[in-house]
Amino acid sequence: MSKVYPVDPAFAAKARIRKADYEKLYAESVKDPEGFWGRIAERLEWAKKPTRIRDVSYDPQNLHIRWYDDGQLNVSANCLDRHLATRGDKTAIIFEGDDPSESRRISYRELHAEVCKFANTLKHLGVKKGDRVAIYMPMIPEAAVAMLACARIGAVHSVVFGGFSPDSLAGRIADSTAKMVITADEGVRGGKRIPLKANVDAALERPGTNSVETVVVVRRTGSAVPMQSPRDRYYHVLMEGQSAECPAEPVEAEHPLFILYTSGSTGKPKGVLHTSGGYLVYASLTHEWVFDVREDDVYWCTADVGWVTGHSYVVYGPLANGATTVMFDGVPNYPDFSRFWQVVDKHRVTLFYTAPTAIRALMREGEGPVKKCSRASLRLLGSVGEPINPEAWEWYHRVVGDERCPIVDTWWQTETGGILITPLAGAIDTKPGSATLPFFGIKPAVVDAGGAVLEGPAEGNLLITDSWPGQMRTVYGDHQRFIDTYFKAYPGSYFTGDGVRRDEDGYYWITGRVDDVINVSGHRIGTAEVESALVAHPKVAEAAVVGCPHEIKGQGIYAYVTLVAGEQGSEELRKELVAWVRKEIGPIATPDYIQWAPGLPKTRSGKIMRRILRKIGENQPDQLGDISTLADPAVVKNLVDERLIR
């Protein structure tokens, strides 16, 4: 029996949602989704109020997902203009730089002016409604300005995480045929410089990227970077003399807001497309209710804007709610392991949202770095990105939260736009390691491999059987891939790619991905991507990649590599391949283990049997299961004998 942490009555007394509200509202939301989501949509300001609430079909023959589709709104007006009358002087963004001496507060009025100026700049540079704009930036306010300025004129942003390589950036630019790239001269993380502009230059030399007409460069470090005329323009120069007024253009609710690339089990990353109305309704509602946001809260989500968490819970959700959101451009261990808590004290953070990998890394340093800061302002803690192990949950609760702050373990995905399974701190008792119960309007189901729906306590694959407004609408440029990936395996439902267990109280426990996706430090890496990076190396004949247990990252990357004839595995070659993958994809794809494999286990038809490789990588050689279908069962013995984790 797992431990239960009951709702704190003091928290519940003031909470937005309490137990009785949850039960009543949840029942209502799934019984009458139109009524529920129609009412909730009123939280936004619409240029034209929607009357058609939902138009959804999960039928693969006719798949479409539309919410509020006769409505019109502007996302940036909802995040900015709407607050000016009541919150003009309220801080919208607290920026905290990598260097602890650098921070700044930006009010809603200032942010509005900056976004208007940059929206005018975009127009001046020829960016039009529907054009794609790539954003490759550090965690500086200008990243949010760029996103909101795109939204203001109906341009579609595609934020690419600053840790991705030039090749990864080039692939995303090419796939979305971006017209512009917005970047900075350099980033700074943990005291180290990241050559963002140089990476953009390199990316734009790759084939398929000549859609880019302009590169806008924000001065971050001030280092001299080569500027190509007329392509490259400095942000601060362009902004001079721009008007601080730019009417927000109302767009249809289903107008695309952004594309965000994410890894799948096969092929190249998919461009997950989110649209305007439904996305903002869902991001703002979940932000307000899950974090129990109040007018005077200081909310800090440590995610980078390069990930969906940064989109929904650093920028769009908080700003739509008129909240104060912290943007942190640093790392948890710089200048020391106390940094998070120093920032909490410095800015009096009340709501704090981070990832299990960060918690585990901090946990390893002991309580000292936490306890030397007060953290008295904190009142709620959140977790996202991967299953949080109960030990880390308990530590987060006891050491960081002083047993005073409820924890919300929020399960969701890039595809879902916002949180789907989560506790509500005033309503739902928590169990360490469980994301608990569905949010309003979310209907999870547990199925077995054959698709039979399991009732009661059960373990299987996690489906969501009906749509919600924040759901992705398509894979950019490849609607068939959208259908095939999410709606083919279990017709009539959205397939999450996650395994799950539902306990006797109806609580959900996510068990991890059931596809060939590895969750490294809360970030998705497709095994296929790492494999294709490895085989691109001249000395590699073949590679197979699986996830393995990793103390800090949750999952690590375990690669089996077959070298071309005549090559020998060595420590130097291992280092060379690690560096190669980092260069090809980015540091997040760094292989943790490379095992030299004279052969890989394959079926007679030549398919690599990853199930076996996964078990070897997990040091469970006695659980390989049936290997009789292998073309050459002898290769397994060698791999088991030479395994790197034991």
Binding-site residues for CoA, in ranges, read: 189-192, 309, 333, 521, 582
526 binds ligand WT7 (CB under 6 A): no
Contact between 515 and ligand WT7 by CB under 6 A: the answer reads: no
Annotated binding-site residue numbers for Mg(2+): 535, 537, 540
Stretch that binds ligand WT7, among 47-55, 207-215, 333-341, 384-392 (CB under 6 A): 384-392
- Closer of 132 and 513 to ligand WT7 (Cβ): 513
Per-residue DSSP letter, 439: P
Residues of the binding site: 189-192, 309, 333, 385-387, 409-414, 498, 513, 521, 524, 535, 537, 540, 582
- Name the minimum Å distance from CB 332 to ligand WT7: 17
H-assigned helices in 430-543: 479-486, 527-535
Interaction of residue 315 with ligand WT7, rule CB under 6 A: no
114 binds ligand WT7 (CB under 6 A): no
- What Rg do the C-alpha atoms of the chain give, in angstroms? 24
Q: Which two tokens stand for residue 251?
A: 């767009």
The least distance separating ligand WT7 from the CB of residue 427, rounded to whole angstroms, comes to 18
Longest pairwise C-alpha distance within the chain = 73
Q: CA-CA distance, 216 to 239, in Å (whole number)?
A: 11
Q: Which of 96, 201, 252, 386 binds ligand WT7 (CB under 6 A)?
A: 386
385 binds ligand WT7 (CB under 6 A): yes
Least CB distance to ligand WT7 at residue 582 (A): 19
Counting every residue, how long is the chain? Answer: 646
In DSSP notation, 317-375 reads HHHHTT-EEEEE-S-TTSS-TTHHHHHHHHHT--EEEE-HHHHHHHHTT-SHHHHTS--
215 or 435: CB nearest ligand WT7: 435
Which residue number, 411 or 487, has a Cβ lying nearer to ligand WT7? 411
Instruction: Determine which residue in the list 117, 524, 602, 643 makes contact with ligand WT7, applying CB under 6 A.
Output: 524
Distance of alpha carbon 597 from alpha carbon 609, whole angstroms: 14
413 touches ligand WT7 (CB under 6 A):
yes
**Spatial contact of 448 and 28, defined as CB atoms under 8 Å apart:** no
Per rule CB under 6 A, is residue 304 in the interface with ligand WT7? no
Binding site per annotation, positions for ATP: 385-387, 409-414, 498, 513, 524
Using an 8 Å Cβ cutoff, are 340 and 311 in contact? no
Contact range with ligand WT7 by CB under 6 A, out of 336-344, 410-418, 474-482, 580-588: 410-418
Residue whose Cβ sits closest to ligand WT7 = 414
The nearest distance, CB 585 to ligand WT7, in angstroms, is: 15
Q: Does 164 bind ligand WT7 (CB under 6 A)?
A: no
Indicate whether 553 belongs to the interface with ligand WT7 (CB under 6 A).
no
- Give, for 275, the enclosing helix (H) or strand (E): strand 270-275
Reported in sequence order, the residue ranges of 488-609 that DSSP labels E, i.e. its strands, are 494-502, 508-513, 517-520, 523-526, 540-550, 554-563, 593-596
Q: Yes or no: say if 100 and 335 are a contact pair by the CB < 8 Å rule.
A: yes
Q: How far apart are CA 314 and CA 294, in angstroms?
A: 16
Contacts of 151 (CB under 8 A, 6+ apart): 74, 75, 76, 79, 157, 257, 276
> Does 495 help bind ligand WT7 (rule: CB under 6 A)?
no
Burial bucket for residue 387 (CB in 10 Å: 0-12, 13-18, 19+): buried
Quick one: 120 or 275, whose CB is closer to ligand WT7? 275
DSSP 459: E
529 binds ligand WT7 (CB under 6 A): no
| Comparison of 154 and 417: residue with beta carbon closer to ligand WT7 | 417
Q: Which of 309, 324, 297 is nearest to 356 (CA)?
A: 309
By CB under 6 A, residue 350 contacts ligand WT7: no
412 binds ligand WT7 (CB under 6 A): yes
Task: Give whichever of 254 and 498 is closer to ligand WT7, judged by the CB atom.
Answer: 498
Q: Which is nearer to ligand WT7, 136 or 412 (CB)?
A: 412
Query: What binding mask, one character per residue, do residues 195-224 give for ligand WT7 by CB under 6 A, x or -?
Result: ------------------------------
> Could you give the angle at which helices 33-40 and 277-290 cross, rounded to 10 degrees?
80
Q: Is there a contact between 461 and 498 (Cβ–Cβ < 8 Å)? A: yes
Q: Scan residues 418-477 and list those touching ligand WT7 (CB under 6 A).
A: 435
Asked if 498 touches ligand WT7 (CB under 6 A), the answer is yes
The residues of the shown chain that bind ligand WT7, judged by CB under 6 A, are 262, 308-309, 384-387, 409-414, 435, 496-498, 510, 512-513, 519, 522-524
